[in-house]
A and B are shown apart, each in its own frame.
Chain A
Amino acid sequence: MRKAFVKTLIELAEKDDRVYLLTGDLGFHALEGFAEKFPERFLNCGVAEQNMMGVAAGLALSGKKPYVYSIVPFVTLRCLEQIRIDVCYHNLDVKIIGIGGGFSYGTLGSTHSVMEEMAILRTIPNMSVFSPADLLETEELFLKTYENKNPAYFRLSNIGQYEVYDKNPNLEIGKPNVVKDGADGVIVATGLMVSICLDIIKKIKNENNINLKLLSVHTVKPLDEKLLMEQISDFKKIFVIEEHSVIGGLGSIVAEVLADSGYGGILKRVGMDDEFLKEIGTADYLRAKHIVKKNGAIEDILNYFK
């Protein structure tokens, strides 16, 4: 996803000299292409994220289009007030790129495995939150948001499965995408969980002949709630899964929308429990331990929808 982002950003920078790239001293073997092509518009701001976000706001107030890059915790929580006030309160054209989303850097522990930032960022007015499922979603959302002038946050994963689509899904901002149709139940997922669920759904179809629908909520905010209801409310049971805290993320969002609508069915929310990591490990290990296996393994999903 990081590669898709850099490639697309270079293309945008070629035709638009307002595009700037700011990094918080990260991007080895990733940002060099941009830095070499556009040295005047590449700023390594050092390990100083609060200043970096403020500088981005200043650039945006002066007609530039800054993209701000770092690992998720440092480009979101470390500079949260700069995001809230400098960027969002002024409603500026600053795009925030967080890499290493979820458990990508699981061996590095809790400082790098942030499970809360989508919940926090979505409560800030004017902010949009994107959590793409694969390279094609990343690219499309990236191009779409380039056209607007509002703050946006991208949560990108670096490790795991990605391929969800073989051709462009033609996404629209805010509209959950039906990855796969099905009549026996619906799974609502975001980010990397979409590709993982797609695999699970295929297996369940083959082995048990249960046909589940899968939605990718690539835009966590803003969300077309009416469309989401149309996509899911006919099902008596809804399953939401995300690589994020169960507090405030996609599960909470779906619960809010369903409750507002008077939906009478059952919702199951699967995500990270409200705790820091007690043990570390690779992304695959932690996903299996905390999200996919514990609640969402094939058997769990099967039992839920039976």
Chain B
Amino acid sequence: MDYNSISKNIRKKILKMKYESQEGHIGSALSCVDILNVLYFKILKIDPKDPLNEDRDRLVFSKGHAAAALYAVLSEKEFFEEKILDAYCKDGSKLAGHSTRGSVPGIEISAGSLGHGLPMASGMALAGKKDNKNYRVFVLMSDGEMDEGTTWESALFSAHHKLDNLTVIVDYNKWQAFGRTNEVLNLEPLAKKWESFGWSVKEINGHNFLEIENVLSIVPFEKVKPNVVIANTIKGKGVEFLEDKLESHYTHITKEDYEKSIR
């Protein structure tokens, strides 16, 4: 299957979960779909039949509130059956609004509190180096997570320890929970910040499959440096009335909008 149809399937699954559960964080999930698609269908060396293989590449999903996107891509990649998604955010279920390790196969960390993924990923990358393993660690982060002190503590740590097996992907949709990133807490110049912390930086369009594939295929960009890909994205991507809107973080999807958007 081609990237386009896979992303379409993932988005449909997300919308179904969101509609049936009436949960928010829709825009957050939609903005990282295309990145997850390329990671899972091209980049990551993983085996859905052996999800805890010691040598697997790790995808640390740090923006845990976008869990629906992760569940959807994991089901698309056949880590588990699609019907498990029906349990999303239901009473008595394991499939929480935030991704939780152990709930379904393929989830590396329990997330939901922002700014925890990168430190944990740094630990995994360091362990890989110590054990002479070839696995790589990718971390999907939100731009809101760039606010957290832990992000920059880890940035120092990972550069210091030359973790070139570590790659951060920033889902840079320019929105956080209560405003635009440049109005709440300006991140710019973001690329320069990472560079000055000793990371190798590339910037791409996070909805252009080819760009995503090309950049993630060539890590490490430089020897002995950790990598960061700043992916410019659109919050709510793929559902017109949600695109680039703060409301996409909170809206619950109506029946009418649901039916319209999955067409």
Binding site for B on A (CB under 8 A): 23, 25-29, 31, 44-48, 50-51, 73-74, 78, 105, 107-112, 277-282, 285
Contacts and interface: CB of A to CB of B under 8 A. Distances in A.
B144 A108 contact: no
Contact of B184 (A46, A111, A112): A46
A280 B94 CA distance: 6
A278 B94 contact: yes
A51 B176 CA distance: 17
Dominant secondary structure at the A interface: loop
B250 A44 contact: no
Nearest to B95: A280
A281 B21 CA distance: 11
B65 to A, nearest CB: 8
Contacts of A108: 65, 96-98, 112
A50 to B, nearest CB: 6
A110 B97 CA distance: 10
Given A25-B177, A47-B115, A74-B113, 10 more contacts: A25-B144, A25-B179, A31-B178, A48-B185, A109-B97, A111-B64, A111-B110, A111-B111, A280-B89, A281-B93
B130 to A, nearest CB: 29
B243 interface: no
Contacts of A51: 149
A107 B97 contact: yes
Interface in B142-163: 144-145, 147-149
Given A108-B96, A108-B98, A111-B98, A48 B91 contact: no
A279 B92 contact: yes
A44 B21 CA distance: 30
A25 B175 CA distance: 11
A32 to B, nearest CB: 9
B144 A47 contact: yes
Nearest to A111: B112
A109 B98 contact: yes
Interface of B: 21, 23, 64-65, 89-98, 100, 110-115, 144-145, 147-149, 176-179, 184-185, 246, 249-250
A44 B179 contact: yes
Residue of A26, A48, A110, A281 most packed against chain B (CB within 10 A):
A48
Contacts of A48: 147-149, 185
A44 B110 contact: no
A17 B259 CA distance: 50
B28 to A, nearest CB: 13
Nearest to A78: B113
Given A25-B176, A47-B114, A50-B149, A109 B246 contact: no
24 contacts: A23-B178, A26-B177, A27-B178, A28-B178, A28-B246, A28-B249, A44-B184, A46-B185, A47-B114, A47-B145, A47-B148, A47-B177, A73-B113, A105-B97, A107-B89, A107-B96, A108-B112, A110-B100, A111-B98, A111-B112, A112-B97, A112-B112, A280-B89, A280-B93
